[in-house]
Amino acid sequence: MDKQALKQAVCAAIDQHREKIFEIGEAIRVNPELGYKEFKTAQRVKEVFEEMGLPYQEKVALTGLIAQMKGRSPGVKMAVMGELDAVVCPGHPQADPVTCAAHSCGHHAQVAAMLGMAMGLQSGGAMEYLDGDLSLMAVPAEEAVEIEWRQSLIDQGKIRYIGGKQNMIKDGYFDDIDLAMMVHGTTGDKIEMADTSTGFVVKFVRYLGKEAHAGGAPHLGINALNAAQIGLAAINANRETFQDKDTIRVHPIITKGGDLVNVVPADVRIETYIRGKTMEGVLDASKKVNRALKAGADAVGAQVVIQEIPGYMPRMNEKRMNQLFEANVTPLVGSDHVVNNGHTTGSSDFGDIMHLMPGIHPYIGGAVGRGHSSDYQIVAPEMFYIVPAKAMAMTVIDLLWDGAAEAKAIVESYQPVYKNKEEYLAAWEELMKG
C-alpha cells in the first residue's frame, strides 16, 4: 500500500468510528472536571484504551494515562496528546453545579480527536506500515487554575509543578519521546496554524498588615488592602515600560481582601500571571512587578510575601511539522479556512515540551463565543472532532513513513532550548528560589 492509499484507508476508518468519537467527546463534555481531579474523564479514556486492546499506564501525574501503539519497527517515538481538564466557568450552561467546572475551552474534543486518530490508525491497519511508535497521552491539568490548592499538592509532595505536562517531564514520561503533537479547539471556522505563543510565571502574593477596629481605631492598624491597591497601581504605572516585542500581559486578581468589614484588613492575597513571548521578557517584567508590589507594602508599613511559582514556557511550533499538518488538513476544509496567526498570546504547558523537542499545537475552529466564557459552545462537531482526528492521523503517517525519514530529519535539525530534562528542571528551580 502506498502512503496516499494508507491515508485514505485511515480517514475512512475514522469515518466508520464517527459516532463513537462523538459519543466520547460528548460524554466528557457533560462531565467536566478540574485539573488533577479528572477521575471520570480518565475512566472514560481508560475504557477506550481497553476496548482497543492497547497496553496503558494510569495515574500518570495523578490522573493521566498513557497508551502505546507499536509500529513495524522502532526508532522514533511520537507523543500525541489530549488534555483531560476543564476550566472554572460558573455561568456556563453545562457547568458542574458543585465545582463550576465547564468545558468552555474544548479539551473534551482534544481527547476525542486523539482517540479517534488512534482508532483510525488501528482499524486502517496503519501501524504495520509505519516505522516508529506512538505514545497516546491523556494529560491532566493544563489549565493553570486553583493555584493555592495546587500549591498545597506541591507542599504535600504529590506534584512539583502546577501543569500536568511539566510533572510528566519531571517523572520521565517524555524521556523516550522524540516529537509531539496535539490540537486545540477554538472559535470561528478556521484552522489556525501559529508559530509562537506566550509563556508565563505565577505569583502568589500576601500582604500582611495589622488588625484594628476600622471605625474606632484605624490608626492602630496597618491596612494590607491599601498596600495591595498601591502595589496594583504601581504595576499599572510600569505598563508603558513593557516592550511591544515581548507582548507582556499582567493580569492580577485579589483572592482575599480582608476578613470583616469593620476590621482593618491584615491579610490580603493576590494571584497574578506575567505572560510574554520569551522567558527573558517574562522575567524582566516579573522583576518590575515585584518592585511594584514591594512599593505598595513600603507605602503603608505592611509586609509583602511573594511566592514565585513556575508557569509555562512559550510555545515554538516546529515549521516542518506545521507544514505537514497544514498540507493534510487543507483538503479537508479548503484553503480559505486555513490561516497562520504568527504569534498568539495564550499559554500552554505544551511550551515546556517544545523547549525539549519539536512539536506542534494547531487550533481547530468549530465553536462560537469566547474561550473560557459562558457563551462558548460547539456548533460544528464535524470540524471539532473528526477533522483533527484525520489531520493528526495523516500527519503521523507522513512522519513515520519510509523509515520515519521525515521525523528523523526534523529531530536531527531541531535546536532545543534545553539539551536535556535536567537543564529544563534547573531553570524552573532557579525561578522558585526567588
Q: What confidence category does residue 434 fall into, taking pLDDT thresholds of 50, 70 and 90?
A: low
- Domain architecture of the chain: domains with CATH: 3-197+314-430 (3.40.630.10), 200-312 (3.30.70.360)
- What value does the mean pLDDT take over residues 387-393? 98
At 71-127, the pLDDT tens digits run 999 989 999 999 999 999 999 999 999 999 999 999 999 999 999 999 999 999 999
Q: How far apart are the first and last CA of the chain?
A: 57
At 239-269, the pLDDT tens digits run 999 999 999 999 999 999 999 999 999 999 9
At 156-176, the pLDDT tens digits run 999 999 999 999 999 999 999
